[in-house]
Structure 1
Amino acid sequence: MPSLATLGLLSGVALLLWRIFRSYIVKSPLDNIPGPARTSFWKGDIPALFHRNGWNFHDEATERYGQAFKFHGPLGAKGLYVYDPKALGSIIVKDQMIYEEPSWFISLNPVFSIAHMRHMTPLFYETTHRLRRAVTTQVAGGSSEVDILNWMSRTALELVGQGGLGYSFDLLEKDIPNPFGDALKRYLPLNFALQLWRMFSPYFTKCGPPGLRRFVAKFLPYSKMQQLREIVDTLDYQSRKVYNQKKVALEKGDAAVVQQIGEGKDIISILMQANMDASDEDRLPEDELIAQMSTLVFAATDTTSNALARTFHLLAEHPDVQEKIRAELLAVGGNDDIPYDQLVDLPYLDAVCRETLRLHPPVSFLSRETRADVVMPLSQPIHCVDGSIMNEIPVPKDTTVIIGIRGCNRNKAIWGEDALEWKPERWLSPLPKSVPDARVPGVYSNLMTFLGGGRACIGFKFSQLEMKVVLAVLLRSFRVTLSDKEIVWNLAGVNYPTVGREASRPSMPLKLEPINLA
């Protein structure tokens, strides 16, 4: 009698063969949707969609084919690339239960209220002042060139550690390697490069129990896969270390919790306490809580740190904008910490943050898969391959749908002919009527940067506060200018900079000049 592993393998292979057969025999309503020509049967458009230098493919496809077009997946599969606002409303709000995250994706949206942000603001300032002192020491050492991305990554990890986990990852005093931070920084570029493997992963998950698959994975002769396995092990080890320390404190009682960073008011402490108090049938297993910790740190670190790095890069390229922000900050707070309510309402600082997140969202696109047949509405009709006009798209079950975050944020039909320009001033006067009329379903500023609906990144308030505190402290301490090194931004799960197009290590050197405010 065949073993369970053999039966799993056979069922996975059978499902894969059926998907290939169906893509050729069964006519799909997507066949009539225009889109780029397929360059490979085996890989489809995936290598171009997920290439680190794939900006031109995305931009040219959105410009040529409009707000909804077809792309080719591996082995004859067909998918949709969408940034039509009405379609996005269906995907992330109205029909969000049909458009599920892909089977390889797990997400957690941490909830941080405004009251919690006010409570955390002094902690944010304390951490950022440690950052300022460390950078000042580095600049005083004789070199004005600083790897801004490295410091933003370390700061973001420390802030989410304290605000999200009640745990300190990094004292920001010395350039000491941090295993958790290093693993996070390596994860996204590597995971993005393995997209083709990830799309086949649902078939392999049927091949025996997880322990067997993990054992087999150790012997795969593919260096990138082994690097990813090593990174995942590091994240799991560090998360378990944090979890066990917090578990001991919670079991000791309130006095031990109050002594922790954040006084036990961080989201994981609250979640762990609620789980301990829950009935047996409602209690989550420890492995799931630990996985959520890793996801929380992962989701909140690279996105904000890379958004901050992009902002500093733009301010170095636009010194006039940098001076306007500095003048606004000095006029309000001098050299003192600016209270939460004043900081979040500073108009020019807010305009720079919004415009950066509009034109350069840290995440350019996300994927969904349809769990049932669904009809996707459109705000603008599509001119089909056969010459007909389509006002809505019948989308079959199991279709991959790419949500074009960057495409929607740069849509000229919404933002006007200057949509591709970085213009913070656009936020200082009423936006064009086309912006509210488009009804973009994003949770933030008519943008898709933080998504919307039930799966929106509610932690965007945390991210915004982090960006504004770091900018407020550093811009009153340093003038930022470009170095002589070429900075190239790479497409990935979270876009990241490197020195030159071929470098693999994320890095963004800029020059910092101390400002004497005395």
Structure 2
Amino acid sequence: MALLESLPTAALAGTILCLSWLILGPLLTRSSLDNLPGPPAESWFIGNLRQFFALNPWEFREELARKYPRVSALHAPFGFKWVHVWDPKAFHAMFVKDQDVFEEPLLALRVVLGPGLLGTQGEQHRRQRKMLNPVFSTKHLREMTPIFYSVVHKTRDAILQRVRAGPKDGVELDMLSWMGRTTLEVLGQAGLGYSFDPLTEDRPDEFANAVKDLFPQLAKTGILRLLLPYVLDLGTASFRRRVVELLPNKRVQRLKDISDIMHERSVLIFNEKKAALEKGDDALKHQVGEGRDIMSILLRANIMAAEQDKLPDEELIAQVSTMVLAGMDTTANSLARVLQLLAEHPDVQEKLREEVISAAETEDIDGTIDFDKLMDGLPYMDAVCRETLRVSPGVAALFRITTRDTVMPLMEPIRMRDGTLSNALHIPKNARVIANITACNRDPALWGPDADEWRPSRWLEPLPRELEEAHIPGVYSHLMTFIAGSRACIGFKLAQVEIKTVLFVLLQHFRFEPTGKPIQWNSAAVQYPSVGTGAEPEMPLRVIALRP
């Protein structure tokens, strides 16, 4: 009884101590980050974080990149400091050389998705990556290209049906929705041997809606996610589940529902695939993908792997949702961005169409070309894709937390607040670091004074010497869009094939024009377009059939 009576007092004392540390901690302790230049805080309570994480933060982020050096300090709540960086040499340390020091905060994704590639660290992540690497190879992508064409042709036919039923001057369609449905079906058939959407009628898919809603919901629960490290090990899993169910927060409940939906479908797909595999190759040939899909190959490889390399069922199931989440919105939103830019630049669209039609007529294979010509034989297509991924990376910023004190090297010295020059920075343990991918991709010192301009022709010219000498560590074309190191996007080649296949097919049949509606790109884990700020994700474009 005495213990129970003392609990409220202890809880109150603990709360007071925590609040006291939040208020007095930054005042009583000095940090090496205090000497970093950076913008003034909007307020002591919120710092700069509301500005940086706003739905429309682009003006503030541009000011950060142009007014302050490549490494600067952002004010966090209660007087703490975060590090904002877009220096190529610092990126090499963060993502390659010292990636174990700059750890990705993954708890939220692990809770929602399970222990898949996006939710694991260290040896567990390396083991999964080793198993998955072969199925994302160029050789395997070449073999899967017919699946890509098959799905995109269904999209073409569905759009053509709607356009022909409308007026001759075109029909307004939400191309973000169509690109989302297309990428989900490509990932379903090529990745999982499973069909999510026949692309013949407008019908909602619960799994697709859950995937599309995950990143926006995570963005809306940022403060709550900061509590995860402190509550994740409380009690049993069933106890924690019950606590979540009782929380009177609509966003938390939506995240719970999303997690449940994705897990249930993942288990269903995994069990179907495993059962077919146990029946032999003949059973697999009667499934979607005919056993050539990534999941089938992964399961076969897992059976043949050495015991220490095998992935347990829990990790294999988690790869299903992980594969879809990592590849759906990122690719669909990039495709929507390309189509928007082509609509706004009709001269570029027409030049690209001429290249596409010429290649299609030369091959004369039902309007398709083989994998090698698609990837390496269309220089203007390649330029358009590279330039779009440069100026508009799907993931505009990434986050890391230092696991120990470390030194961050810099490409060029920066002037500190006290007037001294520094070519390396001491970063304390548990510091939060924001990697600004967009700022690095648009650095005018490396890309020239028109770095913010979408100009595909720059890729048909010699690249600037400054860019070559910067040694940007990204895995793709001097860009950080797909990041670097062992946590680089494992499916970046798959995304390129998918984007090029969609453009190659659609540009032979349609012209895209703006509707006049104001399109706003909103900040989230994967940035997305809407009509006006904060509205539902959509990209309305006027679509006109070239041959009515």
Return the TM-score normalized by structure 1: 0.93
Amino acid at match of 1:469: T
Q: Which runs of 5+ in 2 are unaligned?
A: 111-116, 119-128
Task: From 443, 465, 468, give the equivalent of 1:433.
Answer: 465
The answer (yes or no) to whether the contact 1:43–1:196 under 8 Å persists in 2 is no
Q: Which runs of 5+ in 1 are unaligned?
A: none
2:422 match: secondary structure: strand
Shift in Å, 1:220: 1.8
2:425 match: secondary structure: strand
In the alignment, the residues of structure 2 paired with residue 220 and residue 65 of structure 1 have an alpha-carbon distance, to the nearest angstrom, of 42
Task: From 213, 216, 221, give the equivalent of 2:248.
Answer: 221
Shift in Å, 1:13: 7.4
Shift in Å, 1:22: 4.6
Task: From 499, 505, 530, give the equivalent of 1:498.
Answer: 530
Task: From 350, 368, 372, give the equivalent of 2:404.
Answer: 372
Task: From 136, 139, 149, give the equivalent of 1:115.
Answer: 139
Where does residue 59 of structure 1 map in the other structure? 62
Task: From 174, 177, 183, give the equivalent of 1:156.
Answer: 183
CA displacement, residues 158-180 of structure 1 (integer Å, 9 cap, x when unaligned)? 11111211211111111111111
Which shows bigger deviation, 470-479 or 339-348?
339-348
Aligned-residue CA RMSD (Å): 2.4
The answer (yes or no) to whether the contact 1:50–1:195 under 8 Å persists in 2 is no
In the alignment, the residues of structure 2 paired with residue 215 and residue 46 of structure 1 have an alpha-carbon distance, to the nearest angstrom, of 32
Where does residue 484 of structure 1 map in the other structure? 516
In the alignment, the residues of structure 2 paired with residue 71 and residue 210 of structure 1 have an alpha-carbon distance, to the nearest angstrom, of 36
Where does residue 130 of structure 1 map in the other structure? 154
Shift in Å, 1:398: 1.0
In the alignment, the residues of structure 2 paired with residue 41 and residue 23 of structure 1 have an alpha-carbon distance, to the nearest angstrom, of 11
Shift in Å, 1:265: 3.1
Which shows bigger deviation, 88-97 or 249-258?
249-258
CA displacement, residues 45-76 of structure 1 (integer Å, 9 cap, x when unaligned)? 33222221111221111211121111133344
The answer (yes or no) to whether the contact 2:520–2:533 under 8 Å persists in 1 is yes
In the alignment, the residues of structure 2 paired with residue 90 and residue 18 of structure 1 have an alpha-carbon distance, to the nearest angstrom, of 35
Task: From 33, 37, 41, give the equivalent of 1:34.
Answer: 37
CA displacement, residues 308-357 of structure 1 (integer Å, 9 cap, x when unaligned)? 00000000000000000000011111262011111112100000000000
Where does residue 359 of structure 1 map in the other structure? 391
Amino acid at match of 2:165: G
Shift in Å, 1:295: 1.0
Where does residue 73 of structure 2 map in the other structure? 70
Which shows bigger deviation, 383-392 or 433-442?
383-392
1:261 match: secondary structure: coil
Task: From 290, 293, 306, give the equivalent of 2:333.
Answer: 306
In the alignment, the residues of structure 2 paired with residue 512 and residue 136 of structure 1 have an alpha-carbon distance, to the nearest angstrom, of 9
In the alignment, the residues of structure 2 paired with residue 61 and residue 255 of structure 1 have an alpha-carbon distance, to the nearest angstrom, of 58
Amino acid at match of 2:367: D
1:171 match: secondary structure: coil
Shift in Å, 1:42: 4.1
Task: From 416, 426, 430, give the equivalent of 1:398.
Answer: 430
Is 1:87 the counterpart of 2:75 in the alignment? no
Shift in Å, 1:19: 6.9
In the alignment, the residues of structure 2 paired with residue 499 and residue 271 of structure 1 have an alpha-carbon distance, to the nearest angstrom, of 40
In the alignment, the residues of structure 2 paired with residue 261 and residue 344 of structure 1 have an alpha-carbon distance, to the nearest angstrom, of 25
The answer (yes or no) to whether the contact 2:522–2:534 under 8 Å persists in 1 is no
Task: From 337, 341, 346, give the equivalent of 2:368.
Answer: 337
Shift in Å, 1:284: 3.4
Which shows bigger deviation, 238-247 or 213-222?
213-222
Query: Using a 3 Å threshold, how does the CA distance of structure 1 residues 329 and 13 change in structure 2: closer, same or farther?
Result: farther
The answer (yes or no) to whether the contact 1:50–1:193 under 8 Å persists in 2 is no
In the alignment, the residues of structure 2 paired with residue 151 and residue 424 of structure 1 have an alpha-carbon distance, to the nearest angstrom, of 24
Amino acid at match of 1:251: E
Which shows bigger deviation, 149-158 or 16-25?
16-25
Shift in Å, 1:15: 10
Query: Using a 3 Å threshold, how does the CA distance of structure 1 residues 268 and 41 change in structure 2: closer, same or farther?
Result: farther
Where does residue 249 of structure 1 map in the other structure? 276
* Equivalent residue pairs, number: 512
2:389 match: secondary structure: helix
In the alignment, the residues of structure 2 paired with residue 278 and residue 47 of structure 1 have an alpha-carbon distance, to the nearest angstrom, of 48
The 5-angstrom pairing of residues 446-457 of structure 1 reads 446-457=478-489
The answer (yes or no) to whether the contact 1:51–1:193 under 8 Å persists in 2 is no
In the alignment, the residues of structure 2 paired with residue 466 and residue 307 of structure 1 have an alpha-carbon distance, to the nearest angstrom, of 11
CA displacement, residues 342-387 of structure 1 (integer Å, 9 cap, x when unaligned)? 1112100000000000001111011111111110000121211111
In the alignment, the residues of structure 1 paired with residue 326 and residue 21 of structure 2 have an alpha-carbon distance, to the nearest angstrom, of 32
Task: From 178, 183, 187, give the equivalent of 2:205.
Answer: 178
In the alignment, the residues of structure 2 paired with residue 211 and residue 38 of structure 1 have an alpha-carbon distance, to the nearest angstrom, of 42
Shift in Å, 1:264: 2.4
Where does residue 543 of structure 2 map in the other structure? 512
Amino acid at match of 1:120: M
In the alignment, the residues of structure 1 paired with residue 461 and residue 307 of structure 2 have an alpha-carbon distance, to the nearest angstrom, of 55
In the alignment, the residues of structure 2 paired with residue 488 and residue 342 of structure 1 have an alpha-carbon distance, to the nearest angstrom, of 35
1:437 match: secondary structure: helix
CA displacement, residues 143-201 of structure 1 (integer Å, 9 cap, x when unaligned)? 61111000000000111111211211111111111111111111111211222222232
CA displacement, residues 380-406 of structure 1 (integer Å, 9 cap, x when unaligned)? 212111111111110111111111110
Where does residue 97 of structure 1 map in the other structure? 100
In the alignment, the residues of structure 2 paired with residue 184 and residue 193 of structure 1 have an alpha-carbon distance, to the nearest angstrom, of 15
The 5-angstrom pairing of residues 256-267 of structure 1 reads 256-267=283-294
Which shows bigger deviation, 350-359 or 376-385?
376-385
Amino acid at match of 1:388: T
Query: Using a 3 Å threshold, how does the CA distance of structure 1 residues 319 and 242 change in structure 2: closer, same or farther?
Result: same
Query: Using a 3 Å threshold, how does the CA distance of structure 1 residues 219 and 174 change in structure 2: closer, same or farther?
Result: same
The answer (yes or no) to whether the contact 1:372–1:397 under 8 Å persists in 2 is yes
Shift in Å, 1:207: 3.1
Where does residue 474 of structure 2 map in the other structure? 442
In the alignment, the residues of structure 1 paired with residue 49 and residue 237 of structure 2 have an alpha-carbon distance, to the nearest angstrom, of 27
Amino acid at match of 1:363: V
Which shows bigger deviation, 398-407 or 108-117?
108-117
In the alignment, the residues of structure 1 paired with residue 18 and residue 143 of structure 2 have an alpha-carbon distance, to the nearest angstrom, of 52
The answer (yes or no) to whether the contact 2:55–2:534 under 8 Å persists in 1 is no
Identity of aligned residues (%): 47
Query: Using a 3 Å threshold, how does the CA distance of structure 1 residues 264 and 439 change in structure 2: closer, same or farther?
Result: same
Where does residue 494 of structure 2 map in the other structure? 462
Query: Using a 3 Å threshold, how does the CA distance of structure 1 residues 329 and 280 change in structure 2: closer, same or farther?
Result: closer
Return the TM-score normalized by structure 2: 0.88
Amino acid at match of 1:315: L
Amino acid at match of 1:471: L
Where does residue 266 of structure 2 map in the other structure? 239
CA displacement, residues 457-511 of structure 1 (integer Å, 9 cap, x when unaligned)? 13111000000000000001001001132211111111101111242x1111101
The answer (yes or no) to whether the contact 2:144–2:292 under 8 Å persists in 1 is no
In the alignment, the residues of structure 2 paired with residue 239 and residue 402 of structure 1 have an alpha-carbon distance, to the nearest angstrom, of 32
Amino acid at match of 1:457: C
